[in-house]
Structure 1
Amino acid sequence: MNKAAIFDLDGTLADTALDLLNAGNLTFEEMGINYRLKENLDEGISSKGGRSTIREGLLKANGYIEEESVEKLYPIFLKNYEKVIDENSKLYDGTLEMLEFLSSKKIRLGVCTNKPKKQADILLKKLGIHSFFEIIVGPDTYGCAKPNPKPLKKIIDFLGSSLNSSVLVGDTSTDYMTSQAASVPFILVLYGHGVVHQNFNTSCTPYLAKSALGMADLILKIIKKY
């Protein structure tokens, strides 16, 4: 049975909050929405993804949110996001070395993200780590998003692993709920968006990663139990 480590993308492998924020502002400007997210203040909003960013802009500009408008604006947001997708986004310190180490130990690697697959592929290639992952799954891959456990389970099956021989690494409550629904061990990234920008409770799991390099040893420790 193969051992596998599956990673969230935004806030886990890379800090992407500012580029998401800028994509939101480009969308607001293009569509005449009188609101702008502010750097160093609103990354907690943008780090939750495109739809959350759009909702915030509509709420602040109009005082209410219509989900129909959110869905209408989302493709425009994605178009703008591709323009700025790697202007500020960067790997967390030690991430490249961590992936190299896990690969050298024959750990099978995958990505389970709520970012659409096209944009996930673009970003991972821009960051220079796309080739480490045998499978990259977004919400459009199987028609559902985290915390639905289906994408995670599909990745584990593809990698020839099992629920007990795999680990999910993430930074938000969505990642945690996904791991619980799939009965997969969960590592919480303490330096990611969920803890830094969204005040996610760190007591949800005993497995806490203070650094990417430290995470590598933690992954091996967990999956060697089985």
Structure 2
Amino acid sequence: MLIVLIQILQKKRKKLRQMAIKHVCFDLDGTLVRSAKTIYKTTTETLNQLGINYTLPEDKFNQMIGQHFKDIFEYFSINVPDFEYYIKTYKKNYFLFVDYSDLYEGIRETLEILKSNSIKISLLTTKAQDQAEKILTHFNLDDFFDVTMGRRDGIPHKPAPEPLILICDDLKIPVSETLMVGDTELDILCGKNAGSKTCVVTYGYRDIDILKSYNPDYLINSIDELVSIINDSSE
């Protein structure tokens, strides 16, 4: 598939037909970036630095990536007395382990195709705003994104619809012409709650049967399948 994408790009970026989908909103972890090892190592390092007792099986933790840390810690019965200080320390530690992360196959090529066909591209993540921006810059992806929406004070996080609706309002594109792409039930529910189409990737941090139970509009095994989905949405 990656070879096919490169060939498309070399042919002067073949134009897609007039699309019903004019905006693709991506999740970050498990969708664009393979980051489980970075997240786990940063989490345990931060808990150790703060002297917090914990039991955190890596395999089970990975299955919960995408949820808010408060929910994860509650699930594992980890008591974090000062959560804001935890997050501040976590963010400082994150880039100590960022080299354990990499982009999934076909990400850059797919973003290039979308961009060259005037599809608006946004990011919606539960990571803090400044951290999300730094991660995009680290992987040289920031120029692809028209809007980056990380966790912000006063704005509910996924699966609430508000952040996706705010992104669409900023881009002046109807939610109905938006495709929400992620790897968890939070992304599917966020899109459905907002009124967008939903697409879930199977290579992220959730079991495929769990994903199917939330009835996404599309389910894909590799990111380059988005090109066909958008093309097939033509009016």
The runs of 4+ residues in structure 1 deviating greater than 3 Å are 34-42, 45-56, 64-72
Q: Distance in 2 between matches of 1:46 and 1:190?
A: 14
Question: What is the CA–CA distance in structure 1 between the aligned matches of 2:120 and 2:103, rounded to whole Å?
Answer: 20
- Matches for 1:206-221 after TM superposition, within 5 Å: 206-221=217-232
Unmatched 5+ stretches in structure 2? 1-19
Superposition deviation, residue 111 in structure 1: 0.7
Counterpart in 1 of 2:130? Answer: 118
- Per-residue CA deviations over 1:33-68 (Å, capped at 9, x if unaligned) read 344645556422455454455446xx4xxxx44465
Give the conservation status (yes or no) of the 8 Å contact 2:21–2:179: no
Root mean square deviation, CA, Å: 2.5
Contact 2:121/2:145 (8 A) holds in 1:
yes
- Is contact 2:114–2:227 with CA below 8 Å preserved after alignment? yes
For 2:207 and 2:172, the matched residues in 1 are separated by 31
The answer on whether the counterparts of 1:24 and 1:37 sit within 8 Å (CA) in structure 2 is: no
Q: Secondary structure at the match of 1:115?
A: strand
User: Could you say which residue in structure 2 is the equivalent of 1:22?
Assistant: 41
Cα separation, partners in 2 of 1:124 and 1:87, compared to 1, 3 Å: same
Aligned residue in 1 for 2:144: 132
Equivalents in 1 of 2:132, 2:163: separation in Å?
Answer: 15
Are the aligned partners of 1:148 and 1:178 in contact in 2 as well (CA < 8 Å)? yes
Distance 1:49 1:156 in 2: 23
Instruction: Name the SS of the counterpart of 1:212 in structure 2.
Output: coil
Say if 1:28 and 1:36, in contact at 8 Å, map to a contact too: no
Q: State the one-letter code of the partner of 1:138.
A: G
Distance change in 2, residues 1:147/1:45 (3 Å):
closer
Mapping for residues 1-226 of structure 1, pairs under 5 Å: 3-35=22-54, 37=56, 42-46=61-65, 48=67, 50-52=69-71, 54-55=73-74, 59=76, 64-66=77-79, 68-84=81-97, 86-140=98-152, 143-195=155-207, 200-203=210-213, 204-222=215-233, 224-225=234-235
- CA-to-partner distance for each residue in 1:83-119, whole Å, 9 max, x for gaps? 32x2111111001111001111110111111111111
Partners of 1:147 and 1:46 lie apart in 2 by 14
Amino acid in the other structure paired with 1:10: D
CA 1:208/1:25 → structure 2, altered by over 3 Å: closer, same or farther?
Answer: same
Q: Does the aligned pair in 2 maintain the 1:2–1:160 contact within 8 Å?
A: no
Q: Which amino acid aligns with 1:102?
A: L
Deviation at 1:221, TM superposition (A): 2.5
In the superposition, relative to structure 1, how do residues 40 and 147 fare at CA in structure 2: closer, same or farther (>3 Å)? closer
Alpha-carbon displacement from aligned partner over 1:169-226 (angstroms, at most 9, x marks no partner): 1111111111111111000111112337xx633241241111111122213323x24x
Are the equivalent residues in 2 in contact too, given 1:15–1:90 (CA < 8 A)? yes
Count of aligned pairs: 215
Q: Percent identity, aligned pairs only?
A: 28
Unaligned runs of 5+ in 1: none
